[in-house]
Structure 1
Amino acid sequence: MELLQRAGTAMEASGDRFDVIVVGAGIMGSCAAYEAAKRGRRVLLLEQFDFLHCLGSSHGESRTIRAAYTKDFYPSMVLESRRLWEAAQSEIGYRVLTDTSHLDIGPAGSSSLQSVLSCCKQQSSLNMRLLDRPALAEMFSGTFRLPEGWIGVGSDVGGVIKPTKAVAMFQALAVRRGAVLKDHTRVTDIKRDEEGRSLRVATAGGSAFSAKKCVVTVGAWMRKLVKEVSGVDLPIRPLHTTACYWKIKQGHEKELSVEGGFPTFDSCGEIHAYGTPSMEFPGLIKINSDGGNPCDPDGRDWTLGASGVLVDAVGSWIEQILPGIVEAEKPVMTQSCMYSMTPDKDFVIDFLGGEFGEDVVVAGGFSGHGFKMGPLVGKILAELAIDGEAAGVEMKHFRIGRFAEEAASSHADS
């Protein structure tokens, strides 16, 4: 009897020990858990709310995938991530990604458009092409009415991802590979154990888990949690934003659909607007503008909705670019979401350092454009946690230390 009791105690204790603990079960954390479990590690994925909740940045009906970037390190990352999206879909047996073309539009002299062309010209698979107004009208049946002096840049690599379904896919794949998933488990502390050989992850419910490595991917809560456990103050600002859906005028529904050849798009004129083909809700199209209201993720003002400067700007853009096709007075449906913005809009993916050295990896600040790269970010995080380095990706752009270096440089120049 005593032997059985000792065995039961040992089994219970071993159930609390893992190779990798991932904190935060949005797209980045779910992909990281899957990648670490795929490599045979014992993985625990913790989420403070329900799985697939609507309080962060990984829910809803659509996210775009595009490789058209103004910074030259992103296109290759998007292409590799797209390959990983396809591999995951093949493994699970269903799709979360719908392929489309992609279109950037703006004034011919726009530095953003010129940067897109420059950064992407080395990627032949993108099939980047410059489109004048007649070519654009022919390609998209006259739906886009560009102002005088505007051009388009077309690419074969676009698409729409269903985010909630995608997160669920990677969680299911992680479970298939042996990962343990727990929701309603809010992490309150991460520290080294008394021997200093492993990490102890404590939760608000009083439970604790130990692991060799920890990956923190808590989205809009990154700044809060990282400062609490380490004192490091990451310049990641949470923003409450609103996705807007606008009514398509009767008779134009087919033109703005995937089946009608309508692309994902990004407009870099005076108003920055972006959107997807009509596919989420019949007769509606998603068109947004970047930005939002700074907030405490635990104290958001949920009354903020379809009003204000950003929404009015999108309405003006619709009147100018899609006249007679989309009703521009106001959106007919909205969904709240979160951005986690860094000063340079580049990601944070790095070892936390300090007392944690390379045993805690953090990833955040995806600044409204990271979802599409979730599978690759998850792979990078698993490699950093397990191997101490990530293969094939230049990580200098995502270091925590860059913010201090930029601040020092600005101070020296002043």
Structure 2
Amino acid sequence: MSQVDVVVIGAGAMGSATAWNLARSGRSLIVLEQHPVGHTLGASHGATRNISAAYPQADYQALLTETRALWTELEQQSGTQLIDWVGVVQHGVAEAELIELRDVQHANGVRSEILAPDEAAARWRGLRFTSPVLHTLDAGRVRAAEALRVLREQAEALGAEFRYDTPVRALELDTTGAPVIHTDAETLRPEQVVVTAGAWTTKIVPAALADALPRLRVTQEQPAHFAVRADFADAVWPSFMQQPQPGERDAFWCSPIYGMQTPGEGIKVGWHGVGAVVDPDRRDFLAEPVQLDALRRYVSEWIPGADPDDLVAISCTYTTTPSEDFVLDRRGAVTLGAGFSGHGFKFTPAIGRVLADLTRGIPAPERFRLRA
């Protein structure tokens, strides 16, 4: 039987960031991950993620401000570039909404501007615009795979121990409320446990905590990498988000779209949260033909710089709450981080700080707390 200050269950982005923040404060910790290092079975794999800065809510914007500083700190400590500040363009929504977002950004020291569609098209000829565009300069893309590696290495350098291929068979609370963690090899009795298990969250949390959780919806999403057309090889690519207008084609065209350049792989494009509900242990990883066809038609219409017929489909999971707000809270000795999919990765180091603080009794912002 092993004893340690904190056990983190799940070594994806949020678990690794929590480990880094816990190790920085001198806590002894073990990170348990059921899959091998570098696996592609969850939500943290892949080369890139968007890092936008367009939230009207003050609590999210405060997290973003902190996140930018922490990404920079990680880059300096590791000597590794993690953020490409290529900007983000957002379009397809009413200009009044873009103005509101711009004003919130400016109030938080974020550089942004609103452009007419023809001006945006002249700057970024690989994309098509028919409505005003919010261009956020202090934004871009995260080198996700590199970020995951750097977080783990920085945490390990401070004493954290990562154990891969180590599934948790049970997380229980003893009669005093202390966590008891069973693996195939041993039983761990830490003072605190942090659950950052992504799509497996509801399979891990004790029953006493599950009742306080909002419903977590796990879906299989299927973005794709589209090849850049030869005559757009010199095009400048910001990251992008669009809200297509409702039409008569299919339901996917009413869903938000996101994308970014992934160097060496093409232009990553995906619908936001339209995948089928799945059990993460029983996924088929196959592209759904109707959804993939809709994505190809979107690229054909809105991304002239990409080839809709030259693509590689991707499979990943989303784990979301009904509101799409994160869950960051603690009950007794169990701290929980969940519901990050779709817009969480950009916040990774700040979420790790919040989760580490929760183990010390420092509460998270009200928005992210469990039901009473």
State TM-score, norm by structure 2: 0.90
> What does residue range 267-282 of structure 1 map to in structure 2 within 5 Å?
267-270=242-245, 271=253, 272-281=256-265
Residues 84-110 of structure 1: per-residue CA shift (max 9 Å, x gap): 111112112222222211111115x36
Q: How far is the alpha carbon of 1:197 from its aligned partner?
A: 7.4
Distance, in Å, in 1 between the alignment partners of 2:28 and 2:353 is 16
Check if 1:117 corresponds to 2:102: yes
Structure 1 counterpart of 2:195, from 196, 216, 219: 216
Structure 2 counterpart of 1:187: 168
Match for residue 367 of structure 2 among 387, 393, 397: 397
In structure 2, the CA distance between the partners of 1:101 and 1:95, relative to structure 1 (3 Å rule), is same
Choose from 97, 121, 127 the match for 1:144.
127
**Partner of 1:293 in structure 2?**
276
What letter is aligned with 1:252? F
Query: Residue deviations 1:344-383, cap 9 Å, x none?
Result: 11101111x3xxx2x1100001131101111001111111
CA shift in 2, pair 1:43/1:278, >3 Å: closer
In 2, are the aligned partners of 1:71 and 1:115 still within 8 Å (CA)? no
Whether contact under 8 Å (2:105, 2:111) holds in the other structure is no
**Equivalent in 276, 289, 308 of residue 290 of structure 2:** 308
User: Offset at 1:20?
Assistant: 0.8
Q: Is residue 59–residue 365 contact of structure 2 (8 Å, CA) maintained in 1?
A: no
Pairing partner for 1:248 from 211, 228, 235: 228
- Contact 2:217/2:319, CA 8 A, preserved across alignment: yes
Partner of 1:83: 69
Q: Secondary structure at the match of 1:22?
A: strand
Change in CA separation of 1:228 and 1:163 when aligned onto 2, cut-off 3 Å = farther
Partner SS for 2:313: strand
Q: For the residues of structure 2 that align with 1:341 and 1:222, how far apart are their CA atoms?
A: 11
The offset of 1:268, in angstroms, is 1.6
- Aligned with 1:360 (options 329, 334, 355): 334
Distance in 1, matches of 2:142 and 2:104, equals 24
Query: 2: CA distance between counterparts of 1:243 and 1:51?
Result: 23
Shift, 1:240, TM fit: 0.7
Greater alpha carbon shift after TM alignment, 76-85 vs 21-30: 76-85
SS of match in other structure, 2:139? strand
**Match in the other structure for 1:407:** none
The equivalences for 1:313-332 within 5 A come to: 313-323=294-304, 325-328=305-308, 330=309, 332=311
Aligned identity (percent) is 28
1:226 to 160, 185, 205: 205
| 2:45 is equivalent to residue 62 of structure 1 | no
Coordinate RMSD, CA, aligned: 2.1
- Alpha carbons 2:171, 2:205 under 8 Å: kept: no
Alignment correspondent of 2:249 = none
Give the superposition deviation at 1:306.
6.0
AA paired with 2:339?
Answer: G
Equivalent residue, structure 2, for 1:35 = 21
> 5+ residue gaps in structure 2?
246-252
Are 2:65 and 2:108, in contact at CA under 8 Å, matched by a contact in 1?
A: no
Q: CA deviation at 1:112?
A: 5.0
| 2:313 is equivalent to residue 334 of structure 1 | yes
Structure of greater Rg: 1
CA shift in 2, pair 1:335/1:344, >3 Å: same
Partner of 1:379: 353
1:226: how far off? 1.7
Q: Distance in 2 between matches of 1:163 and 1:229?
A: 34
* CA deviation string 1:208-262 (max 9, x = no partner): 111111100000011222255744354111111112011222121220xxxx3x2
* Count of equivalent residues: 361
Instruction: Write the deviation string for residues 60-116 of structure 1: whole angstroms up to 9, x where unpaired.
Output: 111111111243422221221121111112112222222211111115x36753553
Contact 1:106 1:269 in 2 (8 A): yes
Q: Is the 8 A contact 2:202 2:210 kept in 1?
A: no
Q: TM-score, normalised by structure 1?
A: 0.82
Match of 1:135 in 2: 119
- Distance, in Å, in 2 between the alignment partners of 1:266 and 1:146 is 11
Q: What amino acid is aligned across from residue 285 of structure 1 in structure 2? A: I
Q: Which amino acid aligns with 2:80?
A: Y
Q: Which residue matches 1:22?
A: 8
Indicate whether 1:264 and 2:239 are aligned.
yes
Contact 1:17 1:209 in 2 (8 A): yes
Query: Matches of 2:156 and 2:31 in 1, distance apart?
Result: 10
Q: Which amino acid aligns with 2:220?
A: H
Distance 1:374 1:253, change over 3 A: same
Task: Report the Cα distance in structure 2 between the residues aligned to 1:316 and 1:275, rounded to whole angstroms.
Answer: 15
Q: Give the SS at the match of 2:45.
A: coil
